[in-house]
Amino acid sequence: MGDNRKEAKNDIFSKAFGFTEADEVREMGLYPFFKPLEATDGTIVEIEGHEVIMAGSNNYLGLTNDPRTIEAAQKALTKYGTGCTGSRFLNGTLDIHLELEEKLATFMRKEACVLFSTGYQTNEGTIQTIAGRNDIIFSDKDNHACIVVGTQCSVAETKRYGHNDMAQLRKQLERSDPNAGKIIISDGVFSMSGTLAKIPELVSLAKEFGARLYLDDAHAVGVIGDGGRGSASVFGLLDEVDLVSGTFSKSFASLGGFLVGDRSVIEYVRHHSPAHIFSASMPPANVATVLKALEILQEEPERLARLEEISVYMRTELKKLGFNVWTSQSPIIPIVIGEQMECFKFWKDLFEEGVYTNAVIPPAVPPGQALLRTSYSASHTDDHLNRILEAFRKIGIKHGLIDNNGHSAK
């Protein structure tokens, strides 16, 4: 007897059966996603037997292959085993979890810290816990997906304001119930554009309207600011931000996430967030890696200086070539290509030229503004950077995006 469910319009799988776009792009040889890395030293990776410079990783401090972080992970494996097999709430807390929370709180100059198993869970799990009925969340429209999901899971009302649009945010605050609990949530550094939030204005509005301020610094802690303390510290305003979240999957060469803030708030999240209570805790090797990375960050400030030098150099040179890099202010530098298929073709030619980047298409970016997201590491050499620039110059001219005189051709 045949299965007629695939023909039924009300079959819950019908959307999946109708999804053919990925296979169509694969058949064209232009599919840029889920590429398996066969080997990597952090800056040079091997994909499909092809060695390329990695210009799309978030390995900002270049610590994923550092012998010291590897050794720390190995020692933790020997001492604690491979996993905790339980949640922090019950049997999954190790002494090094507590050590990391204490050291991160001290580093971020906050009273307390709570760890989550991923950066995504940190925001999703915190937002739905602290924003309840009769509360209002004010969220930047360009915020990361984990923030969006956190607002969707929360029973609070959510108002989304235009990206970095402080005038619209002010209007939303003015029109809101003065008796409602309020929290403004924003990425500190936006993951696609590389721009910073307007933190001085956010701090001012939060104070004026009695709101709390929450920054997701996944792309900022260990990347920018005073000693790598993130976006608010760029403006000397870290003390004015109520909650800061971060991840360990970028500068800290591991996996997991954290939230810092006042002790009472952190304790509330620790005891009420489903994402914390019902998830297995960070494995020992991951925790030990972060502890070592945090130590290196504080002992080797030259890594941050090198990262800033690289960021300025690449933004400047890409602009000189005629590329549109939006208004990047960080090691995340987007190169706007245009239409989706043109972006895929540009990505493929760049890959063949020896450079790996990330193709970003709608809805992650506006229609007609598909881009190649590049990001840089303190471990990139000048030779790496110049090879990346030469590849972009060559492919940009080939695709008619720039001309030989450093002008945009579109």
Residues labelled as active-site residues: 191, 219, 250
- The answer to whether the beta carbons of residues 105 and 112 sit under 8 Å apart is yes
User: Strand locations in 69-194, DSSP E?
Assistant: 112-116, 135-140, 157-161, 181-187
Distance of alpha carbon 176 from alpha carbon 182, whole angstroms: 9
Taking CA atoms, 289 is separated from 66, 173, 238, 375, in Å, by 10, 42, 25, 22
Taking CA atoms, 31 is separated from 288, 300, 358, 398, in Å, by 36, 39, 11, 20
Distance of alpha carbon 119 from alpha carbon 245, whole angstroms: 8
- The answer to whether the beta carbons of residues 335 and 400 sit under 8 Å apart is no
Which residue from 46, 131, 132 is spatially nearest to 354, judged by alpha carbons? 46
Distance of alpha carbon 275 from alpha carbon 119, whole angstroms: 11
- The answer to whether the beta carbons of residues 100 and 281 sit under 8 Å apart is no
In the block, tokens 């994402």 appear at: 275
How would you list the strands of the sheet with 257-261, edge to edge?
112-116, 257-261, 243-247, 212-216, 181-187, 135-140, 157-161
Taking CA atoms, 216 is separated from 194, 213, 394, in Å, by 13, 10, 36
Half-sphere exposure of 44 (CA within 13 A, CB side): 7
Which residue from 138, 136, 169, 131 is spatially nearest to 153, judged by alpha carbons? 131
Cα 169 → chain centroid: 23
- The answer to whether the beta carbons of residues 344 and 25 sit under 8 Å apart is yes
Cβ neighbors of 317 (< 8 A, separation 6 or more) are 389
Cβ neighbors of 346 (< 8 A, separation 6 or more) are 337, 372, 395, 399, 401
Which residue from 124, 173, 190, 186 is spatially nearest to 152, judged by alpha carbons? 124
Taking CA atoms, 339 is separated from 342, 344, 350, 359, 372, in Å, by 5, 9, 16, 11, 12
